Amino acid sequence: MLDGFAALLEPETLLYLVGGYLLGLIFGAIPGLTATLAIALLLPFTFAMELTNALVMVMAIFMAGIYAGSVTGIIVNIPGAPSGAITTIEGHVLMKRGEGAKALGLDAFASSVGGMIGALVLMFIAVPMSRLALQFQTPDKFSLVVLALVTVVAISSGSLAKATVSLTLGMMISTVGIDNMVAQARFAFDSAQLVEGVRLLPAVIGLFAVAELLVQAGSSRRAEEVASLRTRRRDFIPKFSEIWRIGPITYIKSAVIGVVIGMLPGGGAAMASFIAYAEAKRTSRTPEEYGNGSHEGLAAAESANNAMCGGAVVPLLTLGIPGDSVTAIIFGVLLIHGLVPGPQLLETNLDAIAPMFAALFVAASFVFVSVVLFGPYYIWLARMNRAVLYSFIAMVAMVGTYASTFSVFQMWVALAIGTFAAVMRVMGYSVIPMLMGIILGPYFEEYLRRTLITNEGSPLVFFTSPISLTLLILSVVFVYVLRGRAGAIRR
């Protein structure tokens, strides 16, 4: 693991780490842009990068993007990403009270602490988890995919039916092309290009970059007028007394909640901050401050959503199951470089993956440093000209698709999926389940069919295998807990 930290000392790798961190900060801080979009746009570039540099950069974007989602939330009451929504509740109240620098400082400190705890958990649990994962047989893997798909639907905002629609459409897209077990073209309509199927990259670019571009074109929001604030860099460093008043227990407990939710397929930063905030309020000695600029509530939400980064990577690396859209794209980065996430990955390629763990830890420490350096400029970032921003995104999305596939057809695919995804968003559907369907659909099909073939068509093995049965029971429990918990909090 120490070799991972040593790898970061290579000048080129360090440059990618810092560059990725800055890119994540910019994308996370700008409303409408997210870490997911930044990583999706980076995907074409990773083709030409060394694996270590690509993974280090992706991790830095992930950590910075999740953190920065709260920055514009605090400043202008518009979270840059869903993960910043809870922080916004407390942070913007502090901002209106003239305590914006303090809010940004506490926010960054909590993000750093949570992010580091998440990275440490990843370093010390990922390898034992991967050994456990080796016990998984095909029926168990199928049940695990079911757990992931069910949880993605359960945590989606809106109705279960809409989330199921989105997931099913994604799985349908994954069925286009040659069947993965027999030589049979499906839904190709005699098109040589459709026989190849829909590639991951145009799908991701379409779902996030193109759809975001179209949705933003539909909104006439102009740059928010942000009050001119005179702040000094030292205003962004929280006082020890303020941190002590929040309490180490709040930071640690929230980080643990973040890591655990991150490990659940579909958990996500927004869910992590949501539940950590609710838990901190439940045990707080000053619950009346919540909603009125509570430092404790702000710290709990931020500590949890950055700790989620470490947790989210565990199931991807150990079981080959991407838990959210970012890890789904990281899945793609690994595949592009010939590594298949799953039980064998850490056993055989730990040297290639270790810098990724180290990058997460170091990027978490960058969070606090960056608020001191860039705090005064965050306001400027939030006011960036939309013409510059969206022209750049339009170019990178479409040209990036071509540059990575050398296919105009894949540009059409990205545009078609993006247009459809934009319509779905307007109609109130989340596109995250759709991405999960595209990613996990082939695994769902392969494991199910392989199990049925080897068991003469009988599905009983899913209930007689202890691991499979446990995972299927967990699927039911997750639907109950995730839907019930979220519903209880909303009420």
Partner 1 sequence: MALNARAIFALLLVVLSVAYFLEALTLPTPFQQGEPGPAFIPMLLAALLFVSAGVTVLGEMRTDAAATGERINLKTMTLVGLTIAFVGAFEFAGYVIATFAYTLAVAALFEAERGRSTRRIALVSLAVAGGVTLAGWLFFVRLFDLYLPEGILGP
Residues in contact with partner 1 by CB under 8 A are 44-45, 47-49, 159, 161-162, 164-165, 168-169, 171-172, 175, 179, 181-182, 184, 186-187, 210, 213-215, 217-220, 222, 385-392, 394-396, 398-400, 402-404, 406, 408, 411-412, 415, 419, 422-423, 425-428, 444-445, 448-449, 452-453, 456-457
CA dist., res. 66 & res. 293, Å (int): 21
Q: Give the nearest distance from C-beta 145 to partner 1 in angstroms.
A: 12
| Angstrom distances, CA of residue 468 to CA of 47, 367, 394, 446, 449 | 36, 40, 44, 16, 15
Comparing CB distances to partner 1, the nearer of 289 and 446 is: 446
Q: Give the nearest distance from C-beta 438 to partner 1 in angstroms.
A: 12
User: Do 61 and 25 meet the contact criterion of CB atoms below 8 Å apart?
Assistant: no
| Residue 178, SS3 per DSSP | strand
Comparing CB distances to partner 1, the nearer of 2 and 192 is: 192
Comparing CB distances to partner 1, the nearer of 180 and 365 is: 180
Comparing CB distances to partner 1, the nearer of 5 and 390 is: 390
Q: Give the nearest distance from C-beta 256 to partner 1 in angstroms.
A: 33
Q: Give the nearest distance from C-beta 18 to partner 1 in angstroms.
A: 16
| Cα angle, residue 257 at apex, residues 39 and 153 outer, rounded to 5° | 60
The CA radius of gyration of the chain, in Å to the nearest whole number, is 22
Helix, strand, coil percent content, the chain, rounded in steps of 5: 75, 0, 20
Identify the bridge partners of residue 185 per DSSP, sorted by sequence position: 178
Q: Give the nearest distance from C-beta 171 to partner 1 in angstroms.
A: 5
Q: Give the nearest distance from C-beta 216 to partner 1 in angstroms.
A: 8
Query: 90: which 2 tokens?
Result: 């407390």
Comparing CB distances to partner 1, the nearer of 102 and 141 is: 141
Comparing CB distances to partner 1, the nearer of 132 and 160 is: 160
CA dist., res. 254 & res. 304, Å (int): 5
Q: Give the nearest distance from C-beta 161 to partner 1 in angstroms.
A: 4
Q: How many CB atoms lie under 10 A from the CB of residue 214?
A: 18
Comparing CB distances to partner 1, the nearer of 124 and 380 is: 380
CA dist., res. 69 & res. 326, Å (int): 14
User: Do 103 and 237 meet the contact criterion of CB atoms below 8 Å apart?
Assistant: no
CA dist., res. 7 & res. 222, Å (int): 43
